[in-house]
C-alpha cells in the first residue's frame, strides 16, 4: 500500500462552488500533513500544514485531518478561476521525509 493516495481527477467545478479535495494515508503514526498547490510548469507552493488531527483555516482554504479514518481533506470556499491548478497532499513520514500524493487537477469553470 502506498503511504499516501490521491485521486488524480480532473475535477471541474463552477466558479463560486465549494471544492473538496481528499487523500488517504496508510500509517496512523504520521503526524504532519501538508497541502501544496502547483500551477502548470511551476514548483509546488505550500498552502498549509496541519499537525495531528483537526482543522486549520487560512482565508478561503481549510485543511482537515481525520486520524481515525486516515483521511485528509482540503476545502476551498468561493472558488475562483485562479484556483485552477494541481493540488498535492503530502505527509511527513517516520524518516522525516515528505511523501506526496500524485496530485488532483482542479479546473474552476468561469
Partner 1 sequence: DTGVSQNPRHKITKRGQNVTFRCDPISEHNRLYWYRQTLGQGPEFLTYFQNEAQLEKSRLLSDRFSAERPKGSFSTLEIQRTEQGDSAMYLCASSASGRSYEQYFGPGTRLTVT
Count of residues engaged in binding partner 1, rule: CB under 8 A: 25
Query: Contact region for partner 1 (CB under 8 A) — 13-21, 44-52, 64-72, 75-83?
Result: 44-52
Between 8 and 16, CB nearer to partner 1: 8
The answer to whether 96 contacts partner 1 (rule: CB under 8 A) is yes
Q: Residues 21, 44, 63, 74: which binds partner 1 (CB under 8 A)?
A: 44
Distance CA 30, CA 94 (A): 7
- 13-39 burial by CB neighbour count: b if 16+ within 10 A, else e? beeeeebebbbbbeeeebeebbbbbbe
Asked if residue 66 binds partner 1 (CB under 8 A), the reply is: no
Q: Name the residues that contact partner 1, by CB under 8 A.
A: 6, 8, 32, 34, 36, 41-46, 49, 51, 88, 90, 92, 95-103
Amino acid at each position: 500500500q502506498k503511504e499516501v493516495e490521491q485521486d488524480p481527477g480532473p475535477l471541474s467545478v463552477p466558479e463560486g462552488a465549494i471544492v473538496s479535495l481528499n487523500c488517504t494515508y496508510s500509517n496512523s503514526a504520521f503526524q504532519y500533513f501538508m497541502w501544496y498547490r502547483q500551477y502548470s510548469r511551476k514548483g509546488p507552493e505550500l498552502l498549509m500544514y496541519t499537525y495531528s488531527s483537526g482543522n486549520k483555516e487560512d482565508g478561503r482554504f481549510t485543511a482537515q485531518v481525520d486520524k481515525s479514518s486516515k483521511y485528509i481533506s482540503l476545502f476551498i470556499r468561493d472558488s475562483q478561476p485562479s484556483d485552477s491548478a494541481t493540488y498535492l497532499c503530502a505527509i511527513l513520514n517516520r524518516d522525516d521525509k515528505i511523501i506526496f500524493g500524485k496530485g488532483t487537477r482542479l479546473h474552476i469553470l468561469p
